[in-house]
Amino acid sequence: MSSDTPGKAEGKQRSLPPVLSKAPPAAMVIFGASGDLTARKILPALARLADRGVLDDGFTVIGVARTTWSDEEFRTQVAEATPDGGPKWKALVERFKYIAGEYDHPDTFDQLKSHLDEADRIDGTDGNRIYYLATIPSVFGLVAKALSTHGCVGPDNDERFMRVVVEKPYGRDLESAIALDEEMHAAFEEMQIYRIDHYMGKETVQNVLALRFSNAIFEPIWNRRYIEQVQVTVAEELGVEHRGGFYETAGALRDIVQNHVMQVLALTLMESPTSTDADRIRDEKVKLLQAIDIPTPDEAVDKSVRGQYSAGTIDGKAIIGYRQEEDVAPDSQTETYLALRLRVENWRWAGVPIYVRTGKRLPARVTEVALTFRQVPFLLFDHRTSRDLRPNTLILRIQPDEGISLEFGAKVPGEKFHIRSVAMDFSYAEAFAGAEAADGYERLIHDAMVGDATLFIRSDEVQQAWRIVDPYLQAWSEPGAGLHLYPAGSWGPHMADLLVERSGNEWRNPVIDLELSGGRLTEFPQ
Are both 108 and 249 inside the same structural domain?
no
Are both 239 and 370 inside the same structural domain?
yes
Residue 320 belongs to domain with CATH number:
3.30.360.10
Are both 192 and 206 inside the same structural domain?
no
Last residue of a domain, one of 170, 196, 222: 196
Q: What is the pLDDT of residues 70-105, one digit of tens each?
A: 999 999 999 999 999 999 999 999 999 999 999 989
Q: Please, are residues 463 and 294 in contact by the beta-carbon 8 Å criterion?
A: no
Are both 181 and 40 inside the same structural domain?
yes
Are both 209 and 259 inside the same structural domain?
yes
Q: Please, are residues 127 and 160 in contact by the beta-carbon 8 Å criterion?
A: yes
Are both 354 and 463 inside the same structural domain?
yes
Range of the domain at 189: 26-196
Q: Please, are residues 29 and 130 in contact by the beta-carbon 8 Å criterion?
A: yes
Q: What is the pLDDT of residue 16?
A: 36
Q: What angle do CA 442, 447, 449 make, to 5 degrees?
A: 95
Closest CA to 103 of 133, 134, 146: 146
Q: What is the pLDDT of residue 525?
A: 40
Last residue of a domain, one of 140, 166, 196: 196
Tens-digit pLDDT profile for the chain (526 aa)?
444 433 433 333 333 344 578 999 999 999 999 999 999 999 999 999 999 999 999 999 999 999 999 999 999 999 999 999 999 999 999 999 999 999 989 999 999 999 999 999 999 999 999 999 999 888 999 999 999 999 999 888 888 999 999 998 899 999 999 999 999 999 999 999 999 987 777 776 777 888 888 899 998 999 999 999 999 999 999 998 888 888 898 899 999 999 999 999 999 999 999 988 889 999 999 999 999 999 998 899 999 999 999 999 998 899 999 999 999 999 999 999 999 999 999 999 999 999 999 999 999 999 999 999 998 766 666 666 666 667 889 999 888 888 889 887 777 787 777 677 778 888 888 888 766 666 788 989 999 999 999 889 999 999 999 999 999 999 888 776 789 999 999 999 999 999 999 888 899 887 643 333 444 444 444 3
Residue 418 designated active-site: no
Residue 20 lies in a domain: no
Residue 56 lies in a domain: yes
Last residue of a domain, one of 180, 196, 212: 196
Closest CA to 369 of 230, 251, 179: 230
Query: Number of C-alpha atoms within 13 angstroms, CB side, residue 209?
Result: 25
Residue 350 lies in a domain: yes
Task: Quote the CA–CA distance of 458 and 246 in Å, as a whole number.
Answer: 25
Are both 230 and 132 inside the same structural domain?
no
Residue 117 belongs to domain with CATH number:
3.40.50.720
Are both 231 and 347 inside the same structural domain?
yes
Burial class of 79 by CB neighbour count within 10 A (0 to 12, 13 to 18, 19+): middle
Are both 183 and 221 inside the same structural domain?
no
Provide the domain count of the chain: 2
Radius of gyration of the chain (CA): 24
Of 115, 198, 260, 446, the catalytic one is 260
Are both 213 and 326 inside the same structural domain?
yes
Q: What is the pLDDT of residue 383?
A: 65
* H-type alpha helices, 39-139: 43-51, 71-81, 87-93, 106-118
Residue 156 lies in a domain: yes
Are both 187 and 216 inside the same structural domain?
no
CB atoms within 10 A of CB 217: 7
Contacts by 151-157, CB closer than 8 A, 24 or more apart: 151/113, 152/109, 152/112, 152/113, 152/116, 153/129, 153/187, 153/188, 155/189, 156/6, 156/7, 156/189, 156/191, 156/192
Are both 72 and 183 inside the same structural domain?
yes
Residue 452 lies in a domain: no
Q: Please, are residues 238 and 261 in contact by the beta-carbon 8 Å criterion?
A: no
Tell whether omega for the bond before 363 is within 30 degrees of 0, i.e. cis: no
Burial 376-398 (b: 16+ CB within 10 A, else e): eeeeeeeeebbeebbbbbbbbbb
